[in-house]
Amino acid sequence: MIKLSDLIGKPYKDGGRGPDYYDCWGLCMEVARRAGIELPEFNVAIDNELRGRLINEQKKAGFHRLNKPVSWSLVLFRIWDDHNNTLWHVGIVLENCRQFIHITGNSFVCITDLKRGFWDIHLEGFYKYAAD
């Protein structure tokens, strides 16, 4: 069992890589590190359209899509704002494969059920990283 309780409640900050602040990718990097997985650095504090293209490039660089959630896999969400702009969000699936840990802007690190209405609707997919 990997200890995550010290991360719960940590605040959001663009580019946050810990230990006091995290953004969504920084949190994924830290949780994955604790699970023995080294994720590559990826700047998520960028324009969302560019982020979508970069995420596709990251998929080519070792992120493999899964059919279902697997412990410590990434969970990617595509969310549309009121102006129909695409916003991306990423979290990491926990050992029980029913929850994920994540953080969003102006919030704190938390654990959420994957099947929770809002997140379930915006689910783009699950990904596992396998460096070459």
pLDDT at 52: 60
What is the structure's pLDDT at 23?
92
Sequence ranges of the domains in the chain: 24-129
Residue 107's pLDDT is what? 93
First-last CA distance in the chain: 27
pLDDT of residue 35: 96
Pairing mode of beta strands 74-80, 86-93: antiparallel
The CATH class that applies to domain 24-129 reads alpha beta
The predicted pLDDT at position 78 comes to 86
pLDDT digits (tens, 9 = 90+) for 102-132: 999 889 999 999 998 899 999 988 988 876 4
Strands 110-113 and 99-102: antiparallel
Q: Are 23 and 91 in contact, with CB atoms under 8 Å apart? A: no
The pLDDT value recorded for residue 62 is 72
- CB 50: neighbour CB atoms within 10 A? 10
Which pLDDT score, from 0 to 100, does residue 57 have? 59
- Which residues of the chain have a pLDDT value below 50? 46, 132
